[in-house]
Structure 1
Amino acid sequence: MDAFLTSLFALLLAEMGDRPQILCAALAIRYGRLTPIILGLGLATLLNCLISAFAGSMVNQWISEEPLRLFYALSLLLAGIGMLAWRRPVDLLENWTIGPFWTSFLGLFILQFGDKGQFILAATAARTDAWAFAAAGGWIGVMLACIPALIFQEKLAQMIPIKPIRYTVGGLFLLIGMALALSAWGIL
């Protein structure tokens, strides 16, 4: 249950105001139909979560607890830096003409692949034997972050203070990551 809840909350927070949310809102505005976009988002996110959690479970078998804690700390530190740093603009896939499902599925799969959420999820799964629970929690976390963007679209930015949330979560990730790193090195 720890892997499920950790990945759920970490990915929910990591995706707030991030590029997948922005792309989801743009696709909802463009197509006006939510069902194929939600299905594309769900499948793309599920595949990415399964890939990263399974990869993390492979790491679990190769290294001991202290390096795993350091790996998790590094994933949080990099996520924190990513949330505080400048982001390049999101390609809104305006030239893609393959329909709402395929555009959302392929666009979001590519956008999420190698993103900070995938590393957090891999590091979470690496620390447990329950990689499927980590994948499920991560999937639900991303879906909970992105579905409001589909429903509220550009109004979401007016309803929720995105920048303060990103800065707060980024700082929180940095603090937790630094504490875990110091603990892994035996300093704390």
Structure 2
Amino acid sequence: MEALVPAFLLAALTQLCDKPAMLTAILADRYGRPLTVAITAGIAHATLNLAAALGGSLIGPMMTPNARALLLAMALIFGALGAAGSNRVKDRLDGWKLGAFFTPLLGVLILAFGESTPFFTLALSTGGQPWFAAAGASIGTFGVAFVAALLGERTWAAMPWRWLRILSGIGFLIAGCWIGVNALRLT
């Protein structure tokens, strides 16, 4: 149960100013079905989080506690680096004619595959509670996708995400360095 809340918070913070949320807002406006788009974006995120949790449950028993902490530190540092990027979506999937269910499902699945949230889920899953980590991350990502879909592209893009990206990036970097230094027993 202790992996549920950190996974939720990490997922929500990273998704608030990340590309999958922006794509969800774009597709919700295009199809005019925000609830359908939000649900399918949530399914895409849940699929990735479940795969990451499965991976964490497989490698977790082979890792020492320090290795698990170091993996979490690396995930946080990579999350900080990801926060420095842009949330602009380069491909709006205009050529995709798969409808209001499959376009967001596949588009968000592909876009979120390289994002920080599955890496956080993997790192938290190695601690022994993979399904709670997957559940927390999935709830966090669905919540953000739901809000993005309801607000739509114009309102979502107008939000001051830059400051949240900077603050969350700094927070991730500090936490990652702290956990990493402790995992390497340098303190």
- The answer to whether the 8 Å contact 2:28/2:37 transfers is yes
* Cα displacement (A) at 1:35: 2.9
Secondary structure at the residue paired with 2:16? coil
Q: Does residue 1:82 correspond to 2:82, yes or no?
A: yes
1:140 is aligned to: 139
Give the letter for the 1:33 counterpart.
R
Separation (CA, whole Å) in 1 of partners of 2:38 and 2:156: 17
Query: Identity across aligned pairs (percent)?
Result: 29
Residue matched to 2:49? 49
2:5 partner SS:
helix
State the match for 1:113 in structure 2. 113
Aligned length: 186
Contact 2:48 2:118 in 1 (8 A): yes
SS at match of 2:17: coil
Does residue 174 (structure 1) correspond to residue 173 (structure 2)? The answer is yes
- 2:56 and 2:123 in contact (8 A); partners too: yes
Distance apart, 1:145 and its partner CA: 1.6
Deviations 1:123-176 (A, max 9, x none): 01112x211111000000111122111111221343x42100011001100000
Q: Structure 2: give runs of 5+ residues left out of the alignment.
A: none
CA offset at residue 88 of structure 1?
6.5
Partner secondary structure for residue 2 of structure 1: coil
Q: TM-score, with normalisation over the residues of structure 2?
A: 0.94
CA RMSD of aligned residues (A): 1.4
Mark the runs of 5 or more structure 1 residues left unpaired by the alignment: none
Distance 1:107 1:85 in 2: 19
Shift of 1:63: 1.1
Match of 2:162 in 1: 163
Asked if the contact 1:55–1:122 (Cα under 8 Å) also holds between the matched residues in 2, the reply is yes
